[in-house]
Amino acid sequence: MKSKVIILFSILIAYVPAFGQAFRGLDKSPLDIAYFPDHFAHDRKEGQRALVKVVYSRPHKNNREIFGGLVPYGKVWRTGANEATEIKFYEDATVGGKKIKKGTYSLFTIPEKESWIIIFNSDLDYWGAYTYNEKNDVLRITSQPERVENEMANFTIQFKEEEKNGATMMMTWGNTLVTVPIEF
């Protein structure tokens, strides 16, 4: 009996390192999180809690034409890569002049040359925008894209604090910048 236990233990010890070799490599579009107020800022006040958080993946430009190319105009985009981007409001807010309840939403966009539709949808936890259902939209606003000189190689979302109880969510990739005003 003792020899059977030793043999079984030896097999397990030999088998465990095989699991260590099964890790996949780094994602091509790494996951990132944007907070407001920015939890990583050096001037953040002690004990200050987040009002909004965005979890998204950051695809790289890789010398591709982004908007109107890789991301077609007029089609729903997951606003990043991989899983659908999610935004969590920790309290009720006003986005682009329209009220939204605290909670977690998928964040989709429909890019166009002259304007973007920003969509907050109640469906969560799925890949891309392949199963996007317009019936579950909670809020839609429109924003005008701006052309910026400094090209952003990776899709990026950040918040800029504003004077009157809020922030501007900035989404940029390539030479395109789209802003969304948020008040709390």
As given in the structure block, the two tokens for residue 53 are 């958080």
Q: What is the pLDDT of residue 27?
A: 76
- Entry pTM: 0.83
| Cα gap 61→23, rounded to integer Å | 26
**pLDDT value of residue 164:** 76
Q: Which stretches does DSSP call E strand in 46-144?
A: 52-57, 86-89, 93-95, 98-100, 103-110, 116-121, 137-143
Report the pLDDT value the prediction gives residue 35, as an integer from 0 to 100: 93
Per-residue pLDDT of the chain (184 residues; tens, 9 = 90+): 566 545 555 555 555 555 556 777 777 888 999 999 866 555 556 667 889 999 999 999 999 999 999 999 999 999 999 999 999 999 999 999 999 999 999 999 999 999 999 999 999 998 999 999 999 999 999 999 999 999 999 999 999 988 778 999 999 999 999 999 999 9
Which pLDDT value is given to residue 28?
80
**How many Cα atoms sit within 13 Å of 49 on the Cβ side?**
6
Quote the tokens at residue 56: 């998204």
Which residues sit opposite 129 in a β-bridge?
A: none
